[in-house]
Amino acid sequence: MPCAQAVVPFARRARNAVGRGVDRAAGGKRGAVATVSDVLAEKGRDVLWIDAGAPVFEAVKRMVEANVGSLLVRERGRVVGIVTERDYLRRVALERRDEERTRVREVMTAALVVVTAETPIDECMALMTDRRIRHLPVVEEDEVVGLVSIGDVVKYTSQQQSFEIRYLTEYISGR
């Protein structure tokens, strides 16, 4: 199954909230395979945002307060990128930029890699590993409907494996 992904420079291709005509493959079919939708059902679909013109300090403050590693970035109602802890470290801290004067748009990652709710979890893990990213916006019909992190995916997978081990153990022992 092809991974439901797109590398989208939203600043150039955005139309509605996320951008129409995003080039992405169809995700896996629903069934026994765990999907992003299953992860979102567990963690929720809340998405944290920040304006592209906000100071980087405000982005860091929001991430710390919410205990998250990224915020989606909007400008004039459109998604234009994502700002992450890694962006801050590489483009602000190491360059000794002033986080009060530097704007989020100057340090964010504009080329987003996205998935759909039907993308299988194993494909998300492979995508995150291959692209060396930790956060994937989830889109449905050109709208952001959630965001999953590598931590969310690992937690969900671990819970599912624990359940399967317990079930198999009970089955084998005849309980």
Confidence of residue 175 (pLDDT cuts 50, 70, 90): confident
Residue 26 confidence (pLDDT) = 32
Q: Lowest-pLDDT range, 9-18, 63-72, 94-103, 144-153?
A: 9-18
- Which residues lie closer than 8 Å to 157 by C-beta, 6 or more apart? 34, 121, 125
Tell me which CATH homologous superfamily contains domain 6-173: CBS-domain (3.10.580.10)
Q: What's the rounded mean pLDDT across residues 1-18? A: 40
Nearest one of 21, 142, 133 to 78, comparing CA atoms: 142
Q: How many residues does the chain have?
A: 175
Evaluate whether 131 touches 150 at the Cβ level (below 8 Å).
Answer: no
Evaluate whether 47 touches 72 at the Cβ level (below 8 Å).
Answer: yes
Return d(Cα 6, Cα 163) in angstroms, integer.
Answer: 32
Of these ranges, 56-60, 142-146, 163-167, the one predicted with the greatest mean pLDDT is 56-60
> Domain-by-domain residue ranges, the chain?
6-173
Residue 160 confidence (pLDDT) = 87
Residue 174 confidence (pLDDT) = 82
Residue 131 confidence (pLDDT) = 95
pLDDT tens readout for residues 19-35:
332 333 333 344 468 99
Q: Using CB atoms within 10 Å of the CB of residue 135, give its burial: 0 to 12 exposed, 13 to 18 middle, 19+ buried.
A: buried
